[in-house]
Amino acid sequence: MKINSSQKILIIGNGGREYAIGKAFSQDIRVDKIYFYPGNGGTLQLGENVSFKSDKELIDFILFHQINFVFIGPEIPLVQGMSDTLRKAGIKVFGVSKKAARLEGSKAFMKDFVSRFNIPTAKYLQTSDFTKAKEFITLLTPPIVLKADGLCAGKGVLILPTHKQALEELKNMLEGKSFGDAAKCVVIEEFLDGYELSVFAICDGEEYVLLPASQDHKRLLSGDRGPNTGGMGAYAPTPLCDEKMMKKIEDSIIKPTLKGMQEENVPFCGVLFAGIMVVKNNNILEPYLLEFNVRFGDPECEILLPLLKTSLLDICYGVMEHKLGLLKIELLNKYCVGVVVASKNYPYDSSEPSVIRIDDFNDILGHICFAGVSFKDGVLMATGGRVLICIGIGDDFEGARKNAYALVGKIQFDGMVYRDDIGFRALRNV
Ligand code: AMP
Ligand code: GLY
């Protein structure tokens, strides 16, 4: 694979994930310029933030500036088909097609797909019919899982402790009261009890590479309390996924999915993110697929990219040119822990902007990925949501965790919220 120097890359998105992607590219000397659309106050350290009023403006900009390729970070543009639009205009894109993005964009599509290929997943019914839904709910033992079919920014899953509550919520969902049109069709599932893993496969349509298994922390507060969020911290590799478990996930979930997509003429070219629940059946641990996403996770991306020895640039070209098989992707023998620092009212509401103070952290092996921040007149402000993520790197899990929390100690802004137990399941294990 020949990759020219002076690469110009446009990254779509504005989160910590896109900051991390930009940071990974910026470490490659072949990368000359990085644009972010729209980016955030932190991505200004890495490149230039741009914004457009229409697809046409975006395409004209890419062609005029001779941008080598576009990296699409978040799910919404992928599900809406941005990669197809750009490819049609002759632009190289890292990001799955609209058809492949249905694995994330429609839970009903995803569940039907995985059942066609006998991929282990929770028993389910997808329907828009209240009576059918009610019948199925009555057959399940609570807690009962209800999912909106469409995208809901990670909020479309409800876990209800009783049949009565499940039926009430079902009615709200089908009537469009809780998630609008996204829940006009619902998926009802049996509850799986176990621990979760995030597994990423980078795929070029045929070949794929697996990244080390990671673990996210979805609840806002320490001890897995409080509401669900986009993710409050992650770490990798996790001792909760040994080689045997990874092989099971690969053989029973990743391989049949990629083969199935090929068979259905929707080759998967991008990042396949499998949300896995590991369940104990008769004393044997078995992986079940909870969800697919068609992109890097946030905050998983921030803790996985620092573990790559091979440049992300080579990986992207391997995928875009369907030549991943020619690349030997190497990892560093390190651990990475990321602790999200969010604003006061996250995930319910916006928060008052507040000035961020960061003390010198040269003595700590790690860095900060910026997300909900602005930068004006030399002042970095927390503007809401997940504000930043402190990344600690180490030779072992405990070292990485220590560095991540040492970094958190260098940060100050009004109302900051973070969990003090990121990686607790791993700590129990080591
Ligand atoms: P999803 O967006 O489908 O991954 O669901 C969000 C979160 O809900 C997951 O990360 C799990 O914590 C939980 N969840 C989803 N489906 C189930 C299930 N069938 N059993 C137990 N927990 C679930
Ligand atoms: N961290 C979970 C997600 O990105 O969906």
CATH of the domain at 176: 3.30.1490.20
Strand segments, DSSP code E, in 223-372 are 225-228, 233-236, 269-281, 284-293, 335-342, 354-355, 357-358, 366-370
Number of domains composing the chain? 3
Within 10 A of 51 (CB to CB), how many other CB atoms are there? 11
Give dist(CA 266, CA 103) in Å, integer: 11
Tell whether 249 and 376 lie within a shared domain. yes
Cβ of 142 below 6 Å from ligand 2: no
Instruction: Select from 11, 28, 20 the least CA-distant residue to 309.
Output: 28
Quick one: which atom of ligand 2 is closest to the CA of 17? 4
The Cα-based distances of 215 to 238, 335, 394, 423 in angstroms read: 7, 12, 17, 8
Q: Please say whether the beta carbons of 191 and 145 come within 8 A.
A: yes
pLDDT at 154 over 70: no
Q: Find the ligand nearest to 145 CA.
A: 1
> Which residue is associated with the tokens 């964009």?
105
Instruction: Specify the CATH number for the domain of residue 378.
Output: 3.30.470.20
Dump pLDDT digits (tens) for 96-143: 999 999 999 988 899 889 999 999 999 988 888 878 888 888 999 999
Q: Look at residues 190, 218, 233 and tell me which one is the last residue of a structural domain.
A: 190
* 287 and 413 both lie in a single domain: yes
For residues 229 and 236, the answer to whether their CB atoms sit within 8 Å is: no
Q: Tell whether 129 and 239 lie within a shared domain.
A: no
Question: Ligand 2, residues 216, 277, 292, 294: which to mutate, most atoms within 8 A of Cβ?
Answer: 216
Give me the pLDDT at residue 107, please.
85
- The reply to whether 107 falls in a domain is no
Task: Work out the mean pLDDT of the chain and round it to a whole number.
Answer: 94
The reply to whether 161 and 243 lie within a common domain is no
- Are residue 278 and residue 211 in the same domain, yes or no? yes
Residue keyed to tokens 């900009």: 61
Query: Which range has the worst mean pLDDT, 168-172, 293-297, 403-407?
Result: 168-172
In 3D, which of 393, 395, 413 has the Cα closest to residue 404? 393
Q: For residues 392-396, give the mean pLDDT.
A: 98
Query: How far apart, in whole angstroms, are the C-alpha atoms of residue 175 and residue 169?
Result: 10
DSSP structure string for 67-106: --EEEE-SHHHHHHTHHHHHHHTT--EES--TTTTHHHH-
What is the strand order of the sheet 373-376 is part of?
A: 354-355, 379-382, 373-376
Q: Which of residues 138, 166, 190 is at a domain's end?
A: 190
User: 3-class SS at 325?
Assistant: helix
Ligand 2 neighbour 302 (Cβ under 6 A): no
Residue 331 is classified by DSSP as B
Q: Whose CA is nearest to atom 4 of ligand 2?
A: 297
Pair (151, 171) in one structural domain: yes
Q: Which of 147, 165, 190 is the last residue of a domain?
A: 190
Is position 170 within any domain?
yes
Q: What residues flank ligand 1, with Cβ below 6 Å? A: 122, 145, 147, 157, 189, 191-192, 196, 218, 275, 290-291
Share of the chain above pLDDT 70, in %: 99
- Shortest-distance Cα residue to atom 3 of ligand 1: 291
Instruction: Assess whether pLDDT exceeds 80 at residue 429.
Output: no
Q: Domain range for residue 60? A: 8-97
What letter does residue 45 receive in the DSSP assignment?
Answer: G
- In terms of domains, do 49 and 178 share one? no
Instruction: Reduce the DSSP state of residue 262 to 3 states and report it.
Output: helix
What CATH number does residue 43 fall under?
3.40.50.20
pLDDT tens sequence across 369-379: 999 999 989 99
Q: Give yes or no for residue 293 CB within 6 A of ligand 2.
A: yes
What is the secondary structure of 106-134 as a DSSP string? -HHHHHHHHHHTT--B--EEEES-HHHHH
Tell whether ligand 2 has an atom less than 6 A from the beta carbon of residue 216: yes
In a domain, 361, yes or no: yes
Model pTM?
A: 0.95
Q: Write down the pLDDT at residue 195.
A: 93
Distance (Å, rounded) from C-alpha 183 to C-alpha 160?
A: 16
- Is residue 106 one of the residues assigned to a domain? no
CB 375 within 8 A of CB 42: yes
For residue 251, is it within any domain? yes
Please check whether residue 253 lies inside any domain of the structure: yes
Tell me the pLDDT tens digit for each residue of 234-262: 999 999 999 999 999 999 999 999 999 99
Q: Minimal CA–CA distance to 198: which of 210, 208, 186, 206?
A: 210
Residues 223 and 319 in one domain: yes
Q: Are residues 223 and 163 in the same domain?
A: no
Q: Is 110 among the domain residues?
A: no
Same domain, 180 and 201: no
Residues 6+ apart with CB under 8 A from 338: 233, 234, 235, 299, 302, 303, 369, 389, 390, 391, 392, 404, 422
Query: Checking DSSP bridges between strand 69-72 and strand 93-94, what pairing results, if any?
Result: parallel
DSSP three-state, residue 400? helix
Q: Are residues 175 and 26 in the same domain?
A: no
Read off the amino acid at residue 90: G
Residue 258 included in any domain: yes
Q: Render pLDDT for 308-361 as a digit per residue (tens, 0 to 9).
A: 999 999 999 999 999 999 999 999 999 999 999 999 999 888 889 999 999 999
The yes-or-no verdict on residue 430 having pLDDT over 80 is no
Same domain, 270 and 183: no
